[in-house]
Amino acid sequence: MSTKITPKQNYELTRQQIGYIDRRLATPEDYRRIGFKSGLEVHQQLATKEKLFCHCPCGVFQKNGDYDAEVIRHMRPAMSELGGYDGTALMEFKTRKNIIYRINNETACTYEVDDTPPFKINPEALEIALKISLLSKLNVVGEVHITRKQYLDGSIPTGFQRTAILGVNGHIQLRNKKVNLIQLSIEEDSCREIADVGHERWYKTDRLGMPLIETVTAPELVTPDELREAAEYIRFLNRSTGLVRTGMGAGREDVNVSCRGGSRVEIKGVAHNKWIPELSHNEAFRQWALLHIRKLLLERIKKEKWQVNHMELDPHEFKFTYLPLVECKEKKHKIIAINIPEFKGFLSHFTQPDQVFADEISQRLKVIACIEKPNMIHSEQEDLSISDHDFATIRTYLNAKNNDAQIIIWGPEEDMETAIETVVERCEMIFDGVPNETRKSLPNGTTIFERVLPGADRMYPDTDSCPIPLSNEYIEKLGKDLPQDISERIELLSKWGVPEDAYHFILSKNIFPVIEEICERFKFDPKRVAIFFGHTYKNIAGKQKAHTDFNYRKLIGLFKFIHEKGLHINIAKYLLPILFQHPSMEFNSMLTALKFKKRSLDELAAPIDFLTEKYRDIRKTDDKEEAANWIMGQLHKQAIGNIELRDLREIIDKRLQ
């Protein structure tokens, strides 16, 4: 008699067996246990006017429906100069997709749709990228060679991305560790996907061709937090030039993760660094789970003996009530039942929070065989969707043994061969461990299958462009015009005594040079200015939308005014909200609006005795502290901009003694 799997229980059990823990509870020791290893590919758009290989404008974006024409392409794998075909290339070819590009005349020309060869590389983009290479301590190449990197998903109409290495072997200095950088490349950005349904995928070409750099770290980051720190550091470094784009999609991370015995898996296009820890944590444990399934499977059977069988089901023979199966009759779709030997307990095996191994198969069916979800049912799901009787019949037909699992798939006849192959291939991969693949991140911190991970085999020289020499004089000139290192900036902030919670905002918004300029020119205390930006300004910028004329120069003007007027810096906080909304207003008028009057310390201290008397009348306690607070409160507003409040307080405290 077959013992039935209870999917939920099995999910919980296997989750415990592999030792999955919530990330918030995880310690470095947990990551050492599973051999967490990761690296980053940080993508950053450059703030140029034009695209990288044509003269279309950058940073102009269209809505999905806003297009002038559509172009259809199919992608076929081409061979690398070393003679191999790339794995992804072949997979993408299998899927036989119609790729449809939506073109808007404002943002795309014939270059984007591959009807014109590339124009000369945008020198503005090259220069920004080289500056960032130098900041990243990379060894800059002597000659830039444009290379073609194959992408057959259609995200680039040529079927390849034009990209070039600018530097190799650099490093960044994190708080407790130096992290090596493998390389930095300049490349053209890809299309934005609109939709992907069945055998058709739509893209828009507005972002296509925008200049982008990619900084690749060595796989040396051993905890999710370290990974995030590196991501932040590189983002800050890029932004420190003031020459890169910010905002939605301007910076994106590909996160490479593996666990001990696992494989490099790339989580693509993570838009927010704060998502990195959860995603990488779950990915490492997903691999750990797959290796657990592998161990169990190998205890049961050898790969050579493992043999999958499948058969077509006649929908007239069974009493299917599950809608997708019922519809197969009408749509003339095929229904295939597959028996997977020795897989019992694996289809419902935990892989990620709320995902089991069966999901890995289903996701591949969608991507590789182009069959939309729901695209399968299986023997280890909570509600089987077909009757026990039908299921028993199917098992008998398949000669299923007690330890086997069954999957039922359906779809158009022409897709079923690929679909069966996909199911079998994914199950067979368990014998070898974790497949190399790229995965798409979901908002809940888990991932789904995206594509097979491409290898180095997909690189070709670009025969449409010439190498670009980089002279020593040029590189030296660029080297003289660089901002300081992020690590130096962090050191300075720390030396000045700025609280750490202010760093992120200052570095991410590249305010550091503003602070420096203010302190250098007007001799203010850097700690005070840094806190003004890291707390006060951050607060207002996070809550309100600034007037379009507002910018950092206005803030420098504010401090200049304070300096020249001989005001105290503590008035900056009160002028800021006015400046933020009315950046063109005269500073003197702002003072008037604040009812500011120039007063000396003596003038301000004069009413203290009178106020002390007054407090006695209204007092509730004899506590001197409270008396001082009350008096301070009375004088506070007049003191702002005139004196250090602490000095006034000292006088009050003395008088109350």
Partner 1 sequence: MEDLFQGYKGDALETLKKYNVRVWGKTHIVTTRGEFDGTILPRAENDDDQHIVLKIDTGYNIGINITTIKEMKETGYKKANYKVPEKEFPYTEGQPKVKLFGTGGTIASRLDYRTGAVIPAFSPGELYGSVPELADICNLTTEKVFAVFSENMGPQQYISLAIAIGKEIENGVDGIIIAHGTDTLHHTAAALTYMVQDLPVPVVLVGSQRSSDRPSSDAALNLMHSAIAAGHGDIAEVMVCMFGPTSDEYGFLHRGTRVRKMHSSYRSTFRTLGDTPLATVTRKGVNAIKKKYNHRRKDKNVKILPYFEEKVTILYYYPNMQPDIIDALVNCGYKGIIIAGTGLGHVNKPVYPALKRAVEKGVHIFMTVQTLWGYTHMFVYDTGRDLMAMGVVPLDNMLPEAAYIKLGWALGQTNDRQEVIDIMETPINDETTKREPYNGYLLYQGGVPEVEQFVKNFRK
Report whether 468 contacts 144 (CB < 8 A): yes
Q: Of 14 and 95, which CB lies nearer to partner 1 in the complex structure?
A: 95
Q: Of 134 and 579, which CB lies nearer to partner 1 in the complex structure?
A: 134
Q: Of 170 and 483, which CB lies nearer to partner 1 in the complex structure?
A: 170
DSSP state, 246? -
> By rule CB under 8 A, what count of residues binds partner 1?
65
Task: Record the tokens describing residue 254, joined without a space.
Answer: 């590909």
- Please state the φ and ψ torsions of residue 388, each to the nearest 5 degrees: -60, -35
Cα separation, 361 vs 376, whole angstroms: 9
Alpha helix locations (H) across 319-469?
Answer: 323-331, 357-368, 388-397, 413-432
* 298 belongs to the binding site for partner 1 (CB under 8 A): no
Sole binder of partner 1 in the list 271, 456, 482, 593 (CB under 8 A):
456
Sole binder of partner 1 in the list 141, 308, 365, 575 (CB under 8 A):
141
Cα separation, 528 vs 569, whole angstroms: 8
Question: Which range, of 196-204, 249-257, 463-471, 588-596, touches partner 1 by CB under 8 A?
Answer: 463-471
Cα separation, 444 vs 22, whole angstroms: 13
Nearest to 423 by CA among 309, 333, 313, 295: 309
Nearest to 296 by CA among 418, 431, 193: 431
- Min separation Cβ 117 and partner 1, Å: 6
Residue pointed to by tokens 């939920």: 8
Cα Dmax for the chain: 101
Site string for partner 1, 401-440 (x = CB under 8 A): ----------------------------------------
Question: Which range, of 73-81, 197-205, 407-415, 528-536, touches partner 1 by CB under 8 A?
Answer: 73-81
Cα separation, 559 vs 583, whole angstroms: 14
* 79 belongs to the binding site for partner 1 (CB under 8 A): yes
Sole binder of partner 1 in the list 21, 60, 69, 482 (CB under 8 A):
69
* 70 belongs to the binding site for partner 1 (CB under 8 A): yes
Contacts (Cβ under 8 Å, ≥6 apart) of 618: none
* 467 belongs to the binding site for partner 1 (CB under 8 A): yes
CA distances in angstroms from 182 to 39, 136, 142, 291, 509, listed in the order given: 10, 10, 17, 28, 26
* 163 belongs to the binding site for partner 1 (CB under 8 A): yes
Sole binder of partner 1 in the list 33, 96, 114, 412 (CB under 8 A):
114
* 164 belongs to the binding site for partner 1 (CB under 8 A): yes
Report whether 483 contacts 133 (CB < 8 A): no
Contacts (Cβ under 8 Å, ≥6 apart) of 605: 648, 651, 652
Q: Of 158 and 422, which CB lies nearer to partner 1 in the complex structure?
A: 158
Q: Of 421 and 491, which CB lies nearer to partner 1 in the complex structure?
A: 421
CA triple 366-372-375, angle to 5 deg: 80
Site string for partner 1, 189-218 (x = CB under 8 A): ---------------------------x--
Cα separation, 612 vs 142, whole angstroms: 76
Residue ranges in 264-283 that form contacts with partner 1 under rule CB under 8 A: none
- Min separation Cβ 113 and partner 1, Å: 7
Q: What is the dihedral of CA 427, 430, 436, 438, to 10 degrees?
A: 50
* 74 belongs to the binding site for partner 1 (CB under 8 A): yes
Sole binder of partner 1 in the list 2, 17, 110, 539 (CB under 8 A):
110
* 457 belongs to the binding site for partner 1 (CB under 8 A): yes
SS3 content of the chain, % helix, strand, coil (to 5): 45, 20, 35
* 139 belongs to the binding site for partner 1 (CB under 8 A): yes
DSSP state, 621? -
Sole binder of partner 1 in the list 6, 116, 588, 592 (CB under 8 A):
116
Q: Of 89 and 289, which CB lies nearer to partner 1 in the complex structure?
A: 89
* 65 belongs to the binding site for partner 1 (CB under 8 A): no
* 585 belongs to the binding site for partner 1 (CB under 8 A): no
Cα separation, 482 vs 128, whole angstroms: 10
* 71 belongs to the binding site for partner 1 (CB under 8 A): yes
Rounded (10°) angle between helices 224-240 and 276-300: 140
* 109 belongs to the binding site for partner 1 (CB under 8 A): no
- Min separation Cβ 159 and partner 1, Å: 3
* 78 belongs to the binding site for partner 1 (CB under 8 A): yes
* 81 belongs to the binding site for partner 1 (CB under 8 A): yes
Query: Which parts of this chain interact with partner 1 (CB under 8 A)?
Result: 67-83, 89, 105, 110, 113-117, 138-145, 147-150, 152, 157-160, 163-165, 168-169, 182-183, 185, 216, 455-461, 463, 466-467, 469-470, 472, 475
